[in-house]
Amino acid sequence: MVRRFLGDPAQWPGQLSCLESTRQTLTQLLERGVIKTVDADAAAYMLNSAAMNAALWIAASPDPQKALPAIIAVFTELASGLCQRPQ
């Protein structure tokens, strides 16, 4: 339904700006060897989608103050999976 009324969220100007910023940051982290060798575009879409859906979940939560730290903990675990492990 959202797509029908608001269009494709992936094409919203603000969404595209966040996505590009995330892609650029991931590219820099790849170049510095901070994160594993992954496709920066794919990783940016995944992280951006997770953040957008997390925001929607928090907003719809009956207790946003409780939902926020829960989502931060999970998002941190997901994103840290991209990090290189010390040898």
Residue 75, in any domain of the structure: yes
Residue 73, in any domain of the structure: yes
pLDDT greater at residue 70 or residue 2: 70
Q: What is the average per-residue pLDDT within 31-36?
A: 96
Residue 24, in any domain of the structure: yes
Angle at 86 between CA 40 and CA 81, to 5 degrees: 40
pLDDT averaged over every residue in the chain: 86
Q: What is the average per-residue pLDDT within 11-15?
A: 60
Residue 57, in any domain of the structure: yes
Give the total number of structural domains in the chain. 1
Residue 38, in any domain of the structure: yes
- Give the percent of the chain with pLDDT over 90: 72
Q: What is the average per-residue pLDDT within 1-18?
A: 59
Residue 87, in any domain of the structure: no
Residue 29, in any domain of the structure: yes
CA dist 49 → 9, 33, 43, 85, 87 (Å): 10, 24, 10, 25, 31
pLDDT of amino acid 80: 94
Which structural domain, as residue segments, surrounds residue 41? 17-81
